[in-house]
Structure 1
Amino acid sequence: MLKIMRADSSQVFRRGPFQVRRNRPGLVLGSNVDVAFGPLSVIDHANLGPGTVVRMHEHNNDEILSYMWRGTMIHEDSAGHRIPISAHKLMMMNAGRSFWHEESTPDGPVEMLQIFIRPREADLPGDVQFFDRPDNIMDGRWHLVAGPQASDAPLKIRQQVTVYDANLRAGDEIALPTVQGLSPWVYVMDGIVTIGTETLAKGDAVTDLHQPLPTLRAKGPTTLVGFLVDRTAPATQAGTISGR
């Protein structure tokens, strides 16, 4: 049975040119005990206006995927990087026992997801990874973005979570890959899709714990972010953001 989480169920935080819609993926299941979807804990849908600066700050025990959809953000960190990230250069921070970073948007607005995942254990070494994406990603197919360390994913997550995205045109149809033992969770980054008899718009999410998700059909230009999650995987709750 489809379970849907609507965008208006999310918390919204604003500070000047910085706005975040905080999604708790487990709310799609109706739980108020722990609002994570297994180790998939928090998805912040962020809009940063020009001139936004999020000063240097520390994370502990968060696996953080910065999924850029629009614009360019300057990332600086305790490992000495100062790198622009965009839709063609994604980033994974494996915070571990400690990792510091700063974000700024000096040149224009940014829209992105910051995806917080609980790592398999606390106090792993801190690290950061970058992924230069090809230009031909507007093709109506799922593209592998991040996944477990043993996978072929370009960005490695120290957890049993796999992340895909897809850019669709009006009329395109797509079904999320299925893997035995993994639960699907799909987020509408932008656009409108139909799934079964339901319509999902920007900021909505859907899962089904008992059978594969039906095909999604785009009603216009649409970006989807899909997850396959082992909801039973061991995970620490010591994260700065991803922890309970």
Structure 2
Amino acid sequence: MFNVLRAEPKTTFEYGPFRIRRMRPGQILPERGDDAFGPLSVIDHANLEQGTLVKMHEHNNDEILSYMWRGSMVHEDSAGNRVPLSPKKLMMMNAGESFWHEESTPLVSAEMLQIFIRPRKANLEARVQFMERRDGPKQNAWTLIGAPEGIESPLEIRQAIYVYDIRLDTDTTIEIPTHPGFAQWLYVMDGEITIGGHTLGKGDAISDETSALTPATATKETTLVCFLVYLDAESVLEGTISGKFGNVK
């Protein structure tokens, strides 16, 4: 039986010009008793108004994927980068032992996911990666955004997680990515789908620990983000954000 995690307004909090709805992806499988979905610990669906500034701050032992869906955001960091992010340019911060960064939206507002993953090991080398693409999510075809070490992909994740996205036309049906031994966690970034007898709208997610998800049909133009996660992967709890919630293997 598929489990659905609905968008809950009560999980939204505001800090001045930005608003975040914080998701604990493991709550989709309550029988596991873990707020994290394996090493996938926290997902923040964030809306940042123009003029937002999140000042320079440190992360340790977080793998952080900044998935930009709309607008743009300027990233600055302790490695000397100053890079505008957008749906055409995504970012992976492998915070490792220590990494400092700052975020701002000087030109336009932005909507994004900030995804916190527990790394396989503590105090790895800190680094940042960028993924460039022409037009954001592909239309009616999945794009691999990130994958575990040793798998060819635009962004390397130091954990057993794959991340994909897609933009669907209305009335388009698509199969969901799979990988042997990995559980699926499918998120509706925008739009609406029907899948497995459920209707999911913006901010909803669906998963099953053991069974593969059935194909999804878009009832309007829709953006989906799909995570494939090895639920029993070894991971650490030292992360600034990813280590705060749930249990650990």
The structure-2 alpha-carbon separation of the partners of 1:30 and 1:136, relative to structure 1 and needing over 3 Å to count, comes to closer
Distance of 2:183 and 2:10 partners within structure 1: 21
CA contact (8 A) 1:10 1:22 kept: no
CA contact (8 A) 1:187 1:225 kept: yes
Of 32-41 and 138-147, deviating more is: 32-41
1:163-242 equivalence runs, <5 A? 163-242=163-242
Q: Give the Å deviation of 1:67.
A: 0.2
The structure-2 alpha-carbon separation of the partners of 1:48 and 1:32, relative to structure 1 and needing over 3 Å to count, comes to farther
Q: Give the Å deviation of 1:210.
A: 2.1
* Cross-structure match for 2:70: 70
CA contact (8 A) 2:118 2:235 kept: yes
Distance of 1:139 and 1:17 partners within structure 2: 32
Distance of 2:20 and 2:115 partners within structure 1: 12
Distance of 1:108 and 1:49 partners within structure 2: 7
Distance of 1:226 and 1:215 partners within structure 2: 13
SS of 1:7 mapped into structure 2: coil
* Cross-structure match for 1:46: 46
* Cross-structure match for 2:83: 83
CA contact (8 A) 2:9 2:21 kept: no
* Cross-structure match for 2:141: 141
Distance of 2:79 and 2:216 partners within structure 1: 40
Distance of 2:129 and 2:10 partners within structure 1: 29
Name the amino acid aligned to 1:13. F
Distance of 2:31 and 2:9 partners within structure 1: 13
Name the amino acid aligned to 1:140. N
Distance of 1:63 and 1:167 partners within structure 2: 25
Distance of 1:151 and 1:100 partners within structure 2: 27
CA contact (8 A) 2:29 2:209 kept: no
Distance of 1:39 and 1:136 partners within structure 2: 26
Work out whether 1:130 is the aligned partner of 2:99.
no
Distance of 1:183 and 1:86 partners within structure 2: 28
Instruction: Say how many residue pairs are matched.
Output: 244
The structure-2 alpha-carbon separation of the partners of 1:175 and 1:20, relative to structure 1 and needing over 3 Å to count, comes to same
Return structure 1 stretches of 4+ with deviation > 6 angstroms. Answer: none
SS of 1:236 mapped into structure 2: coil
The TM-score with structure 1 as length reference comes to 0.97
Deviation by residue 1:57-92 (Cα, 9 ceiling, x = unmatched) = 000000000000000100000000001010000000
CA contact (8 A) 1:10 1:24 kept: no
Name the amino acid aligned to 1:85. L
SS of 1:130 mapped into structure 2: strand
Q: Give the Å deviation of 1:32.
A: 8.2
Name the amino acid aligned to 1:109. S
Deviation by residue 1:135-171 (Cα, 9 ceiling, x = unmatched) = 3744211110011111111000000000000100101
Deviation by residue 1:95-125 (Cα, 9 ceiling, x = unmatched) = 0010000000001110000000000010001
Give the alignment's Cα RMSD to 1 decimal. Answer: 1.3
Q: Give the Å deviation of 1:18.
A: 0.4
Question: What's the % identity of the aligned pairs?
Answer: 56
- Unpaired runs of 5+ residues, structure 1, are none
CA contact (8 A) 1:146 1:154 kept: yes
CA contact (8 A) 1:10 1:23 kept: no
The structure-2 alpha-carbon separation of the partners of 1:166 and 1:116, relative to structure 1 and needing over 3 Å to count, comes to same
Q: Give the Å deviation of 1:31.
A: 5.3
Q: Give the Å deviation of 1:5.
A: 0.3
* Cross-structure match for 1:14: 14
* Cross-structure match for 1:34: 34
